[in-house]
Amino acid sequence: MSSSGFTDLREKLKAMTPHRDNFKNRLHERSNGGAKKRKYREESDEDASDQELREAEARRVKSGIKQATVFTAQECARIEQKIDEVVAKGDKGLYREHTVDRAPLRNKYFFGEGYTYGAQLERRGPGQERLYSEGEVDAIPEWVQELVISRLVGQGLLAEGFVNSAVINDYQPGGCIVSHVDPIHIFQRPIVSVSFFSDSALCFGCKFQFKPIRVSEPVLYLPVRRGSVTILSGYAADEITHCIRPQDIKERRAVIILRRTRPDAPRLDTHPLSPAPLPLSPAPPPLSPALLPSERTQKRSHRKADPGAAHRPRVLEMDKEENRLSRVHGRRDYISHDAQRDGPTRRVKMRRH
């Protein structure tokens, strides 16, 4: 050991320059703090960037929206009375089969033109929607033309003769319609809707999750007032989805959607040729041609639309009776077979009862 008390030259140098370690520690702390600040700045920049993108998209959505308050409270009350009459008529089954489409907390009434969508589609996805054949839904009621369409034409909000499809959506509190784009291959633009019964909101760019139902924050929240008209075109109609959220339907609300179908819109083939009768089956007597039109126009039902029903084979009443009798005879044969197998003992017991 040296006279200075140090056995290692490194210890002596460390003792002679203590400020170096302090400097290194301060430098390390600064570097860690700088990394944290940089990370915070990066996250802040990302949040700011996302916010700017959402704001830019909201501006594009707004560019394709036009709103106007057209109907007074008295006019709304008169139209709402007509909507109640439509609902009552649908409950009695007085409309054609595909006019009424029922869903939880929302009923839809097609007039002029109807189309398949959602769970009705054989293949899911955009572009699979199909118009029903002409005449499969009831015509647009005269009151819709007189009280709603003519008024919008007079206000310059609709072109004369544009509308050939009118849909009434009747929502109960908590009802909704999931995010969607009105089928571009079915409907021309613009899309015009008129609100009744209560105020609500139309949301753009939401995502739905179910069980339980949850909806993400919208890109744009658009209030819609009772008696107001909302017109969608451009970006708002074609480039972003719109929806009605459950939390925005606090009271009953109805909306009349006015659109025009494209001349080349695809339709369902709901009138396939009947299959040829079996060789041994007697041919049914032909119906009088005079009965066919009235029979078709009097077809009424309030059941949910089933686009595949027309493609399934019909079961006639005589076929039902034949199947029932065959089941009864089969059961009798089965009982008699058991009785023979069990022998006389079982027959004696049955007589005692």
Contact present, 66 and 104 (Cβ < 8 Å): no
Annotated catalytic residue 115: yes
CB burial class (10 A; 0-12, 13-18, 19+) of residue 133? middle
Determine how many CB atoms are found less than 10 A away from the CB of residue 136.
Answer: 24
Contact present, 112 and 134 (Cβ < 8 Å): no
Rounded Cα distance, 183 and 189, in Å = 10
Check 115, 117, 132, 171 and give the catalytic one.
115
Residue in 249, 255, 191 with CA at minimum distance from that of residue 228: 255
Residue in 107, 81, 51, 64 with CA at minimum distance from that of residue 232: 64
Catalytic positions are: 115
